[in-house]
Amino acid sequence: MIDASEAVTAVNVSTVRSVPKTATAVGYAVATKGSVARQLGVNRSSLSANGFDGKVGQTLVVPSNDGIAVAVGIGDPDELDTNALRDAAAAFGRCAAKHADLATTLADVDGVDPAEAAQAVVEGVLLASYRYVGLKTADDAGSKLESLAVVAGSKRSKGAELGAATGQTIASAAAFARELANTPPTYLNAKDIADKAVALGSDAGLTVEVFNKDQLEAMGCGGMIGVNRGSTEPPRMVKLTYSPRNPKGHLALVGKGIMYDSGGISIKGGDAFHQAMKMDMSGAAAVLATMSSLKALGCKSKVTAWLMCTDNMPSGSALKLGDVLTMRNGKTVEVLNTDAEGRLVLADGLSLAVEEGVDAIVDIATLTGAVLGALGPDIAGLLGTDQSFVDQVKESSERVDEPTWQLPLDRKRYRKLLDTPYADMKNIGGPYAGTITATIFLSEFTGDVPYAHLDIAGPMKIDADTGIYSKGASGFGTRTLIDLACNFTPPTA
């Protein structure tokens, strides 16, 4: 199988003072007001006559002798920010998709820090260019992009060079998360993703530990063992540790890694949602991709991550309704829906994170259909036990333009919905407030450690090319977690 994320990493990204002659597609920033780059060969009235007014993400192709020049809208110059530049760059990358060698002046604009501008532009072009190839046999299945020249004047070039490198690292990580989630489950099981983690560990400055089924059972990880019971594929838990010198805090990441989710004996219907269940490991993919980038980005926080990986399959040995599991922290759980399995494997990971003595924990999971009903396909649910830490996650999501919306973690009203006469709690809370009750369940395993939960069931996949996203797995959450780790501050009591 061809790994399209490697193509993103392999793009030759450079920072230059002027457009190189090798570029066959050049994107020029055009705002809704102000001057128009003379290199476009057209003036504002000509642009307007062709329906182009400079709104963010608009493009207009002007043929030239050596290729194409592209007018790229960046909106009102007084309101320009990095998110607008990222969107504009994505529009340019998509418009120039038939060209291998691109250049753009999008980062050479007033009002945005040069490093931040270049980072956003590189992220936009590279992520929009990503195309999953997988098992396709057509020669033109992948991206054609080979080089990207970021044009910046002398006063901005140094900052732009740093930002461009950061942008490629982050784009490569997000593309890696997409690649993992797009891969068919036959080609990526729990053992496979563990092998990938081990393979990247040394170069990424990570200590990697892999735990097999026997070890998980000996550790008392009843959630992992229970969910795996119906599968012929053994589970794997992967612990990754990034330890810089003199860390400013210790953050834990826990990712749901259900490599394929049939629902178990509470089997899913044969609908489009079931067809996407190879992506039920998108949380673990985002965490692994995040960890792969921290050394290159010079992250100053210690970060420990757990990937909780297994299939959820129906068989004669699968979990039954009414079974009671004993989790890593000793709590007992009655299973009344085997399709509410993500919270069972996360519970063991969260328990281990608490034992590690971390300053805060965030988990990420394609956890509930309820969040899709509440927030739609574009916004992730955000809940937590510590508002200052939830605010950090929220700020990171806003900086990278991965939208989240905070829902209330209302234990007073809804914890009783998890009560059962047969165990400490049950794994479902009823027909309503499903995202809230699921997070309340998870919070039972986080002790007094500040905790935030990201439910990405809505934005885990994209149905059509748009902005920086290509049809298929989105890699959503990767850039949020990277930003959080690199800007993490231990919450204060």
Just list the catalytic residues: 268, 343
Which helix (H) or strand (E) segment holds residue 122: the answer is helix 114-129
> Would you report the helix, strand and coil content of the chain in percent, each value rounded to 5?
40, 20, 40
Please, is 113 exposed, middle or buried when counting C-beta atoms within 10 Å of its C-beta (0-12, 13-18, 19+)? Answer: middle
Helix (H, G, I), strand (E, B) or coil at 236: strand
CB 85 within 8 A of CB 121: yes
263/251 Cα distance (integer angstroms): 31
List b or e across 347-384, with b for residues whose CB sees 16 or more CB atoms inside 10 angstroms. Answer: bbbbbbbbebebbbbbbbbbbbebbbebbeeebbbbbb
Structure tokens at 187: 């080609």
Amino acid residing at 294: L
Cα-atom radius of gyration of the chain, to the nearest Å?
A: 23
42/61 Cα distance (integer angstroms): 11
206/167 Cα distance (integer angstroms): 21
CB 56 within 8 A of CB 75: yes
The angle formed by the CA atoms of residues 288, 113 and 55, to the nearest 5 degrees, is 90
216/326 Cα distance (integer angstroms): 12
Amino acid residing at 202: S
Structure tokens at 344: 């069972």
CB 309 within 8 A of CB 259: yes
* Pairing mode of beta strands 25-31, 67-75: parallel
The angle formed by the CA atoms of residues 110, 300 and 304, to the nearest 5 degrees, is 125
Residue 217 annotated as lining a ligand binding site: no
Beta strands in 11-154 (DSSP E): 12-16, 25-31, 59-64, 67-75, 101-104, 147-151
Residue 339 annotated as lining a ligand binding site: yes
Residues making up the binding site for Mn(2+):
256, 261, 280, 339, 341
